[in-house]
Structure 1
Amino acid sequence: MSRTYVVTGAASGIGKATSELLTERGHRVIGVDIHDAEVVVDLSTDEGRAALLEGVTAASGGTIDAIIANAGLATSTPTTVAVNFFGAVSTLELLRPLLSGSDAPRAVATASMASLFPADQELLDALLAGDEPAALHRAGELVAAGEQAAGQIYGTTKQALAKWIRRNAPTAEWAGAGIPLNAIAPGVVETPMTSAFTGSTEAREAILQQVPMPLNGIFAPRDVAYLLAWLTSEENAHLCGQVVFIDGGSDAVIRGDSTW
């Protein structure tokens, strides 16, 4: 049965691979991105988020089957905060009502194994409080403090997103409405966003020292697309609030017996 999917970040990387896979399988995909997409919006702004709802509603006729909140940035800037957390959460919350007409509604967000790295607590607190001005201000302070401090921005946004998913998935708005809400946490995937880490043998060796991936190493976005497709398929009826690490083993190496 053909389903209607909304995929943010659809113009490149994981989003593009997922859109292509779903289309190949006969589904309708409404791609969202800042360029080269059916719905062109900037998820770092309130105006862009409002335009997302308007555009997807118009394109879908008011009913969708799945949300894949995949859009993200990896820059050490306040804009990464705006897109990775507030853009993703807004995508899920604004589009959730459009799932009500589906017989098998599904939603998933793209976090990262970088969520395992030490977070900046002040930024994390602002994110989880939903305080975007405070979060953007703190990100600006981290940038001003230098490269090492600013380097915490990306992982902190992804940790906050994973925690938001865990907190909200079992609630009346999601589980109570029959919507499985989950996240994925990819390791190093070969995309335009990671080209600085995967563009040479030396760079790949260096990133694998930070992100151990004993199972098959760095991989292609299509491999992530298969997981996203299953999580948003009719077959996945009972996963709730899970953050699925597709990371070649990074989580198992880094956290070991500390979680189970």
Structure 2
Amino acid sequence: MSRTYVVTGSASGIGKATRELLLERGERVIGVDIRDADVTVDLSTAEGRSTLVEKVTELSGGVVDAVLAIAGLATPTAKTAAVNYFGTVATLEGLRPLLAKSPAPRAVAVSSMASLFPPDDALLAALLAGNETEALARAVVLEAGGPEQGGLIYGTTKRALALWIRRHAATAEWAGASIPLNGVAPGVVETPMTADLIATAQQREQLTQMVPMPLNGIFEPRAVAYLLAWLSSEENAHLCGQIVFIDGGSDVVIRGDSTW
């Protein structure tokens, strides 16, 4: 019997690859994106987030088996903080009641190996406090500070998301309701989001020096889709609060013996 999946970011990149894989396997997919999707919303806004829950509830009949929160941005802007953290958390929390009605619910979000880089402490604190006004104000300051400061926004949002997953996965609302909540942390993937960063051989070399990936280097989004499909399948019954790095080895190179 097919399962009903909600895939945000379904129009491009990892989200599109995941949607296509699930459809090939005969699953039912409700795609969510700012364009070319079953549910067209902007997850940087409160209105978009509430519309997401409303439309998915309507299309699914009130029950979903898996939520794959993949939508994200990598621009050095405040909107990245709005989508990557607050949009993702709102997706997971907003659809949790629909997951709770499934006999085998699963939830997975996409973090990044960039979560390993030093964050902006002020932005991280505001994100984890759930204070969107303060977080966006800090992100605006970083955005105005030039490429180096603006570049902190993406990694900081992905670290905050990984910490949110770790802190919530074992709670009564998730594990206590038999909903495995986990995340994945990709390395550099060839998607529209990274196209400008890897357009030339020199750019690719520079990026892989910063993000070392000794196992086959930069890779296609389909590889992440396979991992997401397993994590959200009935086969994954006991992973709880894990951030699975699919990064060609950058986590190993950067962190060595450390497991967290």
TM-score range, shorter chain: over 0.9
Which amino acid is the alignment partner of residue 16 of structure 1? Answer: K
Residue aligning to 1:118: 118
Confirm or deny: 8 A CA contact 2:80 2:153 kept in the other structure.
Answer: yes
SS of 1:239's equivalent in the other structure is: coil
1:206 has 2:186 as partner = no
Which amino acid is the alignment partner of residue 54 of structure 1? Answer: E
1:158 has 2:158 as partner = yes
Taking structure 2 as the reference length, the TM-score comes to 0.99
Q: Point out the more displaced range, 196-205 or 184-193.
A: 196-205
Which amino acid is the alignment partner of residue 22 of structure 1? Answer: L
Tell me the number of residue pairs that the alignment of Structure 1 and Structure 2 aligns: 260
1:185 Cα shift?
Answer: 0.1
Residue aligning to 1:60: 60
Please give the alpha-carbon distance, in whole angstroms, between the structure 1 residues aligned to 2:15 and 2:27: 15
1:145 Cα shift?
Answer: 1.9
1:258 Cα shift?
Answer: 2.8
1:144 has 2:144 as partner = yes
SS of 1:30's equivalent in the other structure is: strand
Confirm or deny: 8 A CA contact 2:127 2:157 kept in the other structure.
Answer: yes
Structure 2: give runs of 5+ residues left out of the alignment: none
Taking structure 1 as the reference length, the TM-score comes to 0.99
Residue aligning to 1:45: 45
1:143 Cα shift?
Answer: 1.4
SS of 2:193's equivalent in the other structure is: helix
Please give the alpha-carbon distance, in whole angstroms, between the structure 1 residues aligned to 2:190 and 2:199: 9
1:135 has 2:135 as partner = yes
Please give the alpha-carbon distance, in whole angstroms, between the structure 2 residues aligned to 1:73 and 1:66: 22
SS of 1:183's equivalent in the other structure is: strand
Please give the alpha-carbon distance, in whole angstroms, between the structure 2 residues aligned to 1:66 and 1:259: 27
Confirm or deny: 8 A CA contact 2:113 2:247 kept in the other structure.
Answer: yes
- 1:71-110, aligned counterparts within 5 Å? 71-110=71-110
Q: Point out the more displaced range, 192-201 or 10-19.
A: 192-201
Confirm or deny: 8 A CA contact 2:143 2:149 kept in the other structure.
Answer: yes
Which amino acid is the alignment partner of residue 140 of structure 2? Answer: G
1:259 Cα shift?
Answer: 2.6
Please give the alpha-carbon distance, in whole angstroms, between the structure 2 residues aligned to 1:145 and 1:113: 23
Please give the alpha-carbon distance, in whole angstroms, between the structure 2 residues aligned to 1:144 and 1:80: 14
SS of 1:122's equivalent in the other structure is: helix
How much identity, in percent, do the aligned residues show? 72
1:100 Cα shift?
Answer: 1.8
Please give the alpha-carbon distance, in whole angstroms, between the structure 2 residues aligned to 1:129 and 1:214: 36
Residue aligning to 1:7: 7
Which amino acid is the alignment partner of residue 156 of structure 2? Answer: T
Q: Supply the RMSD in Å over aligned alpha carbons.
A: 0.7
1:199 Cα shift?
Answer: 1.8
Structure 1: give runs of 5+ residues left out of the alignment: none
Please give the alpha-carbon distance, in whole angstroms, between the structure 1 residues aligned to 2:60 and 2:162: 28
